[in-house]
Amino acid sequence: MTTHQTKKLKALIVVAASYAVQTQTLSEEAKKKLFQLYHPSIDTKGGNGDGSGNDEEKDAVKLATLALNCCKDMAASDSSLQRLVQDTNSTDELIKLLLIYSCNAFEGGRIYHEISRINHSCNPNAVVCEGKDDGDDGSSSSGDASVVKAACDIKANDEINISYLGKYLYAGYPTRQKVHKVCRPMLCTTSICGAKHWTTHFMNLSLIEESLANFHSTLMSMGQNASGDTDTMDELLTDIAEAADGIERAWKYARGLNLNIDPSHWLFDYTVGLARTLVGLGDEKSQKYASEWLTKVEDHAKAFESDAMNKVVTSLKSAWQRHSSTDEGEENSAKRQKVAK
């Protein structure tokens, strides 16, 4: 069993235990909606019970069955989980539940009656965001909700689709298929032209993420306008330049895939992290450079990020203007002092 399968098995056991606790209080309407969601046949052959299921469906059924057996072995005496798994009439219901979770759950284990029905595409035209959910009456809820937002212009009657892959949407075809097999038992036949050398960008971004955290720590220890330790500052500036080059190459790579969605969905955090570092250097030139970077993700932030993150982007983007105002104020103050003399 792979590491991913082990994680999935643990998650399925948690789902079974949670359902055992909540099943008595779960309304019949909620159960009806839940079990309407897609899942492979509970027959161990997969598909329609005739062996027609694909390998991914068969693996999902095997893993769900293994999770059920683990629950039978691990359930505490006289617990709600033990009562559920020992009830032979609930066996099929529990297996279906675990398969529904495998095929429909989003990050964090969330399942939605409508959103979970949206099909996957390796070239999606929409994304799922965490945020406020506008009700039918026009009211907004700031609770724990997910909403679907268009990531590009969508023509009337076109199917709305999303990606199940996260950052691996930008990976090569074989890797996307492997992630599909682990995350959701399905195959995707979409082939993204140009998705070559993706591992180089993934590795570079992983290193850049660590470097950005180190940059912030270094700047904090040195002070915003530190000039005493010239060697350290020169080394820091070189590392920042390399990080900027790596992020720029990732942008170029992502654009070259010609996906419907903007590269900001993948590169937003890296871009904002770089801008934070540039603003932290304290000089106007670096802060203007940060503003140029944030222009890449400004529209994305307004459409898909939280109000708090939008304030961060706006503040970082205008940092050079505050720097100019401060310099102008100091210059005018010096002139006034000369006139007074």
pLDDT digits (tens, 9 = 90+) for 77-105: 999 999 999 988 888 999 999 999 988 88
CA 210, 267, 308 angle in degrees (round to 5)?
A: 90
Mean pLDDT of the region 35-47: 73
Q: Six-digit token pair at 92?
A: 């099929």
Tens of pLDDT, residue by residue over 52-68, are 557 778 888 999 999 99
Instruction: Quote the CA–CA distance of 181 and 160 in Å, as a whole number.
Output: 22
Q: What 3-state class would DSSP assign to 231?
A: helix
| Cα dist from 326 to 37, 311, 319, whole Å | 59, 21, 11
pLDDT of residue 298: 96
Lowest mean pLDDT, pick from 42-51, 161-170, 217-226, 251-260: 42-51
pLDDT attached to residue 267: 97
Distance CA 73, CA 64 (A): 14
Confidence band of 141 (pLDDT split at 50, 70, 90): very low
Residue 140 has pLDDT above 50, yes or no: no
pLDDT at position 247 is 97
CA distances (Å), origin 34, targets 111, 117, 189, 195, 322: 8, 11, 28, 36, 53
Among residues of the chain, what percentage have pLDDT more than 70?
A: 80
Among 269, 254, 334, 273, residue whose Cα is nearest residue 304: 269
Report the half-sphere exposure of 227 (CA within 13 A, side-chain side).
Answer: 3
Tokens of 237: 């500036």
- 133-134 and 140-141 strand pairing: antiparallel
> What is the pLDDT at residue 262?
95
Two structure tokens written together for 41: 């046949």
pTM of the predicted model, to two decimals?
A: 0.76
CA 204 to chain centre: 18
- What is the structure's pLDDT at 304? 93
